[in-house]
């Protein structure tokens, strides 16, 4: 029950992109085509789940044990960087076309603040190992949901008659704001 609650909370109610405004760079950068957005979402979900699984034991068994929890920022950043490197190698091996489609955005997952945010929230909320993995996966699902929805809207926008000064990134940010407003509606799902 607790796990389902964490899943719904992280993917919908406290969606990283639309309520915490984390990970806006890929959210705006890779959301022009649904196919690419979906692939980016999958890659990020994969990295996030692995991050949760890798940072939890290191935080609890290394940093806490040696009484140096303030090192969490540095430690998490290098773990995330290493994981992204690993994912890049894996995708390059498994699917060269996906590797080319993601291009520069794949290494940029390293600097996606949503991934670091996930690790920090996980520690702050004192989740157990299983809860952390569910939290990481749910955050990735939430990110995928947001970026795919955004890309769907942006594909339709291609044909819209947008005033000159709103074209491009401005209309994208306005839409992101509207989507965030809409996602606030999910806050009513859980009381208290």
Residue numbers at the binding site for another protein (CB under 8 A) = 58, 62-63, 66-68, 71, 74-75, 78-79, 82, 85-86, 89-90, 92-93, 96
> By C-beta, is 91 or 176 nearer to another protein?
91
> By C-beta, is 78 or 190 nearer to another protein?
78
> By C-beta, is 74 or 182 nearer to another protein?
74
Backbone φ and ψ for 110, nearest 5 degrees, come out as -50, -45
Q: Could you tell me the smallest distance in angstroms from the CB atom of residue 126 to another protein?
A: 21
* Residues whose CB falls within 8 Å of the CB of residue 15, separated by 6 or more in sequence, listed in order: 142, 143, 145, 146, 183, 186
> By C-beta, is 68 or 182 nearer to another protein?
68
> By C-beta, is 19 or 111 nearer to another protein?
111
Q: Could you tell me the smallest distance in angstroms from the CB atom of residue 146 to another protein?
A: 30
Q: Could you tell me the smallest distance in angstroms from the CB atom of residue 77 to another protein?
A: 11
- How far apart, in whole angstroms, are the C-alpha atoms of residue 121 and residue 170? 30
Burial class (CB in 10 A: 0-12, 13-18, 19+), 21: middle
Find, among 80, 16, 30, 26, the residue nearest to 51 by Cα.
80
Q: Could you tell me the smallest distance in angstroms from the CB atom of residue 108 to another protein?
A: 18
- How far apart, in whole angstroms, are the C-alpha atoms of residue 64 and residue 59? 6
Find, among 52, 180, 187, the residue nearest to 125 by Cα.
52
Q: Could you tell me the smallest distance in angstroms from the CB atom of residue 85 to another protein?
A: 6
């Amino acid at each position: 029950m607790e796990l389902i609650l964490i899943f719904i909370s992280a993917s919908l109610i406290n969606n990283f992109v639309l309520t915490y405004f984390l990970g806006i760079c890929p959210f705006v950068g890779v959301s022009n085509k649904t196919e690419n957005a979906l692939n980016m979402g999958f890659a990020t979900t994969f990295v996030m789940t692995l991050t949760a699984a890798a940072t939890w034991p290191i935080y609890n068994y290394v940093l806490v044990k040696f009484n140096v929890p303030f090192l969490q920022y540095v430690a998490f950043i290098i773990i995330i960087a290493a994981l992204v490197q690993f994912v890049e190698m894996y995708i390059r091996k498994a699917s060269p076309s996906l590797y080319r489609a993601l291009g520069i955005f794949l290494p940029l997952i390293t600097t996606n603040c949503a991934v670091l945010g996930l690790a920090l929230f996980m520690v702050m909320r004192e989740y157990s190992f299983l809860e952390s993995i569910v939290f990481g996966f749910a955050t990735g699902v939430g990110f995928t949901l947001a970026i795919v929805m955004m890309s769907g809207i942006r594909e339709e926008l291609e044909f819209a008659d947008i005033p000159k000064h709103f074209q491009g990134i401005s209309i994208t940010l306005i839409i992101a704001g509207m989507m965030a407003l809409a996602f606030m509606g999910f806050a009513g799902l859980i009381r208290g």
